[in-house]
Amino acid sequence: MDKIEKIDERGVWEKIADQLRSRSMWMLHYCTGCGAVELPPSTTSRFDMERLGMGPMATPRQADLFLITGYLSTKTLRRVIYTYEKMADPKYVIGFGSCTINGGIYYDSYSTINRLDQYLPVDLYIAGCMPRPEAILNAFTKLMDMIRKGEADGWKRYKENYEWYKQNQLRSLGEVVVYDEFHE
């Protein structure tokens, strides 16, 4: 079977910028589910993440990479979408673990979602429950490769298909009504 060759439409500056972006990715220090426990070993001395140029960042404004580590309840998903929209372009999303791919061990729960891809554009999935740090580093190098080839364009897909994503979000999660104990 022939692989479909994607046409690389980036300009010269974009190509240089993507080379730079791949070598210095900052991940958002946002730990959603149980997979967050695999991040400290990846960051610290044994499986050093910083030699790839990656490091944790406290606010979404400065981060490029959003790691959805594990299952997402609807409550968390609302806030994940809110935070994702605060990040600056270009931004990449990695789905950790089986829960983001097909629901994992919580596939029949009433309050978690099964397919992350319908709410947020995901660039890369890592299979496993939880994936070990070696798998995580493997995924990061693959993502860097994808960025250099210009294939990691989740942010563009989100902007182009914004209506579709918003519809999915509203159907599953409902409208966000902010309750405040002073205004009840």
The CA–CA distances, whole Å, from 115 to 56, 59, 177 equal 26, 26, 24
If the CB atoms of residues 36 and 52 are measured against another protein, the closer one turns out to be: 52
Among positive and negative, which fits the CA dihedral 86, 87, 89, 95?
Answer: negative
CA atoms within 13 A on the CB side of 56: 13
**Nearest approach, Cβ of residue 163 and another protein (Å):** 19
Reduce the DSSP state of residue 68 to 3 states and report it. strand
- How many residues bind to another protein according to rule CB under 8 A? 38
**Nearest approach, Cβ of residue 127 and another protein (Å):** 27
CB proximity list for 76: less than 8 A, separation 6 or greater: 32, 33
Angle 83-27-11 (CA atoms, 0-180°, nearest 5)?
90
Identified binder of another protein from the candidate list 8, 37, 58, 145, rule CB under 8 A: 58
If the CB atoms of residues 50 and 160 are measured against another protein, the closer one turns out to be: 50
Identified binder of another protein from the candidate list 10, 40, 82, 141, rule CB under 8 A: 82
The CA–CA distances, whole Å, from 85 to 63, 88, 132 equal 12, 8, 29
Q: Which of these ranges, 34-42, 55-63, 109-117, 119-127, lies near another protein under the rule CB under 8 A?
A: 55-63
Identified binder of another protein from the candidate list 6, 10, 61, 156, rule CB under 8 A: 61
- Binding residues for another protein, rule: CB under 8 A, are 13, 17, 20-21, 23-24, 29-30, 44-46, 48, 50-53, 57-62, 64, 78-80, 82-83, 86, 88-90, 176, 178-180, 182-183
